A and B are shown apart, each in its own frame.
Chain A
């Protein structure tokens, strides 16, 4: 008995005093000699799937092609998906599952901003690299967190770009229609600050509920102000209702949307009134549309891996963002760790994906790596890029 007790004390001393923790003994989570496990976080179901599943599909096309070519420094990429359902509670659960259950090396995802904002503290606490592919809320990357980077445009950048574009197009009288929920305020507040900075006052400033089925009061009040341009800070459904009612009432100024209305062909089908989008410009994260010849190769690959997907701008966003992830992983080298990946992302300067309108540049103090929105216009059945802006935050 006494001998057993002494043995136990010695064993306990050895374990407590040992510098080797169980985690160290296993190595970096999600990383083996031949595999890098990447966790994809986003909406797989529900209305937010555009900003989740479709983007993930685009990213997975890139990862599949990289794997086919031998992987990154000898390691193949495995993409593990979790559904955040575009809501806060599910996002936290999904992030935890990816980090602690699947034990991924890094995260590549974040579609709906509210979900990403909710998941951010958990992800930050875990010290896991996270490259955001679509969430635009500034709170996702501000304040700057060591391991969180974004290849999506930020709401404040888009809002500033909308006003810049209106002014560049010669608009003198500019009106605003917006939603004032959390998503809308994240854009509306920076937009109003930009108006102030430019010394411009909106001639009308109307509000619309996300669930509204009728925009008659809004359109009539805007029409009374006779604006040259209307800046639209609305989610797709509300925007479609607004554009329908604007068309019915013959209200046709220049209308300037944002990335939530990034797929003009889908938006045109939703509005479903001929010529309603004649003077409708929107912002896109990416330079190209699915029909552009430059996207032909990617279109073919998407059809091969995801036959049910009709290529959309969201797939292209995933392709572009995954290109950045792959580049950073390559640069981090064979001795890959989370810290090395972070360091390479911090050093990424003027990286041209050939898909984003501008270059990708991250710095240690600014992890908002994409600052160049493209403006698109639908002409007939063709979506054209009509301008590119670089906006600082």
Chain B
């Protein structure tokens, strides 16, 4: 476990010395700020016709979308870069277990994403001052809990994909494609029922977030994200092991 922490710590620090992370974080916040501003403007216009109080959802909903696109950029480097630079040889000949390496890589990127999420608290806090009598803190907490869980599984998927290829660009594209599949794939309405549809519904990334979004915490959603994370990390470990045999 100690190795996991050592690897995660280096990984986390590295984000702050690489321009990619800053660029991503910068545009992330700019876009988020812009969405926040336009949502507020709409709310003001709307409130002239009817009683309308914007909820924290106006910030969480663009946040979810942005996170889906940011993840591939944050995790594309993770293991792929070690492969390309040959430093993988160093890590795989150090007394570190393969899973410790993968989990450490995941934890470092996860912590970076959490830092990014922490910065976005600025918007709910601002909103809290703007609306009376303050925002619904239940939705805020469940919404962010959901985000943390979703980020955990997203980063897990990203690290797994990063363990498959040496090329960062390939990793980015595949991760993005996979996220879009999880995000958009829904059973067609004409063919309701059936096991296939049930599986597709179950796998959908966003559907599991809806409860958090509405302010309810459902155990099955937590289980979904945690098992997705574990599966991704398990597959990542297997992938590193397979690389040894080649």
Task: Verify that A and B bind, or say they do not.
Answer: no
Residues of A within 8 A of B (CB): none
